């Protein structure tokens, strides 16, 4: 039977529960255990797919086409696993499932209540992520303890602990220890109050992870105080987790605090000490001084850095592979429209146009793409960024005045991006969108084929519109090559401008499959071109 670690958070949001959970997972994997993860989000939306990136950051997509919380991306990058539909559940999904069962008569006329029906459904979903050979399931409950939205999830895990036994389920609570500048003192009352709120609900945490700013020390006296007032077994169950110089350093800091050792002790998991030697080498490589290169991400949600978190991380991974330090500049495409690409993009070594939806800022992205192509600056287009590349080439090289996507301008004479007639298959996976992993064949002699080093790939999608094949011959004669094709559906997956040193754009999202120790080929090729 799988053992469970339930991660909760208190005091404030954005404490880093996801990074804490992912780091613990990495330590357990390096002890030889098989780990799976799950994120439970209390909001009523069925998934984050319809939410603005300003609300919830990027939407991460799994191989099976599930639109998930961005923390799933952290889990995949840290643990080197492939998550699935069972790894992210919201209140909306839980209630949708319950209502569907009720309408089908599965409850035999009973009154449907939060307890037991909602809590039972949540427990079923928690159990669904495990498998017979999974040793540990780490479950992160989103939000902050005390939020009314999360009460059903907390009640469910309270019941689950009774059902599986305390030796099979552990509660880990993340709380803030603020430093008051005026008093020159770290305050523990916030964590104490957060734990009291949790115990009022019926959950006694086994481990308390205390978040602080970097440079703040937690003394043994403070750990003893927290242990006593939070009813922990011993002061060693109080773990200090300060801000790190980079995200990937967190597992090493938590190992130093003994987190994985205490977890294994309480869950009675007999394993050798985690071998983190390769991870340490990677972190040392990340933090060491390297030549810097500046890369611009031209998007429309730049006020929210989390909207492009996978893109930013993928660029850093590629920098690591190419032994350079990538400095990312987030540039709003609306500002490019108003101030010009020459003004805002001067001096950058590469330009990335990421995914997005809607018409705002589109012309600024097209200008950024034009600036990259005309000045032979390495360009990487991702999803919408591929469509932008096609539109820009049509307008400025093929002289198709007003060329556009039918999504942006349904009346355009040159609908170089459109919904293809044979796209009825998209209902299989994503309703009106192509979601999840699809195969692609790479054309020999292209930059995409050179980057991947293979002819067959599978990548993750999240989009509606496609390259319009009726214009394909014109584009290829003018120098924009379709270098990646989904042969089954006859859809263009990658385009590149053959005359430029690196002007490659993919209809899929390669950023969803990049890892710190295994950079994605397209990002690596892009950064190599920037470096050269």
pLDDT in tens, 464-493: 999 999 999 999 999 999 999 999 999 999
pLDDT (0 to 100) of residue 437? 97
pLDDT (0 to 100) of residue 431? 53
pLDDT over 70 (residue 429): no
pLDDT over 60 (residue 135): yes
How many Cβ atoms sit within 10 Å of the Cβ of residue 416? 25
Domain boundaries, the chain: 3-90+124-282, 289-531
C-alpha triplet 237, 128, 438: angle, nearest 5°? 115
Of 127-131, 168-172, 469-473, the poorest mean pLDDT is in: 127-131
Alpha helices, DSSP H, located in 6-52: 17-29
Q: Say whether 509 is catalytic.
A: yes
| pLDDT band, residue 55 (cuts 50/70/90) | confident
Site of tokens 């101030």: 339
CB 174 within 8 A of CB 15: yes
pLDDT (0 to 100) of residue 182? 86
pLDDT over 60 (residue 424): no
d(C-alpha 381, C-alpha 225), whole Å:
53
d(C-alpha 461, C-alpha 65), whole Å:
8
How many Cβ atoms sit within 10 Å of the Cβ of residue 216? 15
Of 179-183, 192-196, 449-453, the poorest mean pLDDT is in: 179-183
| pLDDT band, residue 423 (cuts 50/70/90) | low
d(C-alpha 258, C-alpha 530), whole Å:
41
Which architecture, in CATH terms, is 289-531? Answer: 3-Layer(aba) Sandwich (3.40)
Q: Do domains 3-90+124-282 and 289-531 have the same CATH topology?
A: yes
How many Cβ atoms sit within 10 Å of the Cβ of residue 423? 16
| pLDDT band, residue 430 (cuts 50/70/90) | very low
Mean per-residue pLDDT of the chain: 94
- In three-state form (DSSP H/G/I as H, E/B as E, the rest C), the secondary structure along 152-212 is HHHHHHHHHHHHHCCCCEEEEEEEECCEECCCCEECCHHHHHHHHHHHHHCCCCCEEEEEE
Alpha helices, DSSP H, located in 332-405: 333-339, 341-344, 362-374, 384-396
CB 488 within 8 A of CB 439: yes
Show Cβ contacts of residue 109 under 8 Å, excluding neighbours closer than 6 positions.
none
pLDDT (0 to 100) of residue 289? 95
Which residue among 87, 210, 237, 383 is the active-site one? 383
pLDDT over 70 (residue 427): no
pLDDT (0 to 100) of residue 369? 98
CATH superfamily label, 3-90+124-282: P-loop containing nucleotide triphosphate hydrolases (3.40.50.300)
Which residue among 76, 367, 459, 511 is the active-site one? 511
| pLDDT band, residue 143 (cuts 50/70/90) | very high
pLDDT over 50 (residue 426): no
Of 45-49, 255-259, 452-456, the poorest mean pLDDT is in: 45-49
CB 524 within 8 A of CB 321: yes
d(C-alpha 176, C-alpha 240), whole Å:
10
End-to-end alpha-carbon separation of the chain, Å?
Answer: 52
d(C-alpha 23, C-alpha 135), whole Å:
16
CA dihedral 210, 17, 298, 383 (to 10 degrees): 160
d(C-alpha 524, C-alpha 314), whole Å:
9
Pairing of strands 480-486, 434-442: antiparallel
In tens, the pLDDT along 338-373 reads 999 999 999 999 999 999 988 999 999 999 999 999
d(C-alpha 366, C-alpha 406), whole Å:
15
What is the average pLDDT across 294-308?
95
> Of 156, 149, 92, which Cα lies nearest the Cα of 121?
156
Which residue among 210, 509, 520, 530 is the active-site one? 509
**φ/ψ of residue 301, rounded to 5:** -115, 35
How many Cβ atoms sit within 10 Å of the Cβ of residue 174? 28
CB 433 within 8 A of CB 464: yes
pTM for this predicted structure:
0.93
Q: Say whether 383 is catalytic.
A: yes
| pLDDT band, residue 422 (cuts 50/70/90) | low
Share of the chain above pLDDT 90, in %: 90
| pLDDT band, residue 421 (cuts 50/70/90) | low
| pLDDT band, residue 447 (cuts 50/70/90) | very high
> Of 229, 236, 247, 308, which Cα lies nearest the Cα of 21?
247
Burial class (CB in 10 A: 0-12, 13-18, 19+), 297: buried
The DSSP result for 109-162, as a single string, is: TPPP-IIIIIHHHHHHHHHHT--TT--EEEEEEPS-TT-GGGHHHHHHHHHHHH
In tens, the pLDDT along 264-276 reads 999 999 999 999 9
What is the average pLDDT across 120-141?
94
What tokens were used for 120? 């039972």
pLDDT over 70 (residue 157): yes
Task: Please give the helix or strand (H or E) that residue 467 lies within, else none.
Answer: strand 466-467
């Amino acid at each position: 039977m799988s053992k469970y670690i339930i991660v909760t958070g208190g005091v404030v949001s954005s404490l880093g529960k996801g990074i804490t959970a992912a780091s613990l997972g990495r330590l357990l994997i390096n002890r030889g255990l098989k780990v799976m993860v799950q994120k439970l989000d209390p909001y009523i939306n069925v998934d984050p797919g319809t939410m603005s990136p300003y609300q919830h950051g990027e939407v991460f997509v799994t191989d099976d086409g599930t639109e998930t919380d961005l923390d799933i991306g952290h889990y995949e990058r840290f643990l080197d696993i492939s998550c699935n539909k069972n790894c992210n559940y919201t209140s909306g999904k839980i209630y949708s499932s319950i209502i569907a069962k009720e309408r089908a008569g599965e409850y035999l006329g009973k009154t449907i209540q939060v307890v037991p029906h909602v809590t039972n459904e949540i427990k079923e979903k928690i159990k669904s992520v495990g498998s017979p050979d999974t040793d540990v399931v780490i479950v992160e409950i989103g939000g902050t303890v005390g939020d009314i939205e999360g009460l059903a999830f907390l009640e469910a895990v309270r019941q689950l602990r009774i059902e599986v036994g305390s030796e099979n389920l552990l509660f880990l609570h993340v709380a803030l220890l603020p430093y008051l500048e005026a008093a020159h003192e770290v305050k523990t009352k916030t964590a104490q109050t957060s734990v009291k709120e949790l115990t009022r609900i019926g959950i006694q945490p086994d481990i308390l992870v205390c978040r602080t700013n970097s440079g703040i020390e937690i003394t043994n006296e403070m750990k003893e105080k927290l242990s006593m007032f939070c009813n922990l077994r011993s002061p060693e169950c109080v773990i200090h987790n300060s801000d790190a110089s980079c995200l990937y350093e967190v597992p090493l800091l938590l190992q130093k605090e003994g987190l994985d050792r205490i977890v294994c002790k309480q869950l009675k998991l007999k394993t050798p000490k985690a071998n983190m030697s390769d991870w340490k080498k990677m972190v040392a490589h990340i933090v060491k001084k390297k030549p810097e290169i500046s890369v611009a991400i031209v998007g429309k949600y730049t006020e929210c850095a989390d909207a492009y978190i996978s893109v930013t991380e993928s660029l850093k991974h590629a920098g690591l592979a190419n032994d350079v330090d990538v400095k990312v500049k987030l540039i709003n495409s609306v500002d490019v429209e108003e101030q010009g690409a020459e003004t805002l993009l001067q001096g950058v070594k590469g330009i990335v146009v990421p995914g997005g939806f809607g018409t705002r800022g589109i012309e600024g992205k097209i200008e950024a793409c034009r600036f990259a192509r005309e000045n032979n600056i390495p360009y990487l287009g991702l999803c919408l960024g591929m469509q932008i590349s096609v539109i820009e080439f049509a307008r400025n090289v093929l002289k198709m005045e007003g060329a556009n996507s039918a999504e942006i301008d349904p009346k355009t004479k040159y609908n170089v991006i459109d919904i293809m007639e044979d796209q009825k298959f998209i209902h299989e996976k994503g309703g009106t969108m192509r979601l999840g992993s699809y195969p692609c064949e790479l054309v020999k002699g292209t930059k995409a084929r050179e980057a991947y080093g293979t002819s067959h790939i599978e990548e993750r999608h999240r989009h509606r519109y496609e390259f319009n094949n009726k214009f394909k011959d014109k584009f290829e004669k003018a120098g924009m090559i379709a270098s990646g094709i989904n042969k089954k559906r006859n859809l263009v997956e990658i385009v590149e401008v053959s005359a430029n040193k690196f002007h490659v754009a993919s209809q899929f999202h390669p950023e969803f499959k990049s890892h710190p120790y295994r950079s994605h080929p397209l990002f690596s090729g892009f950064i190599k071109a920037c470096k050269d």
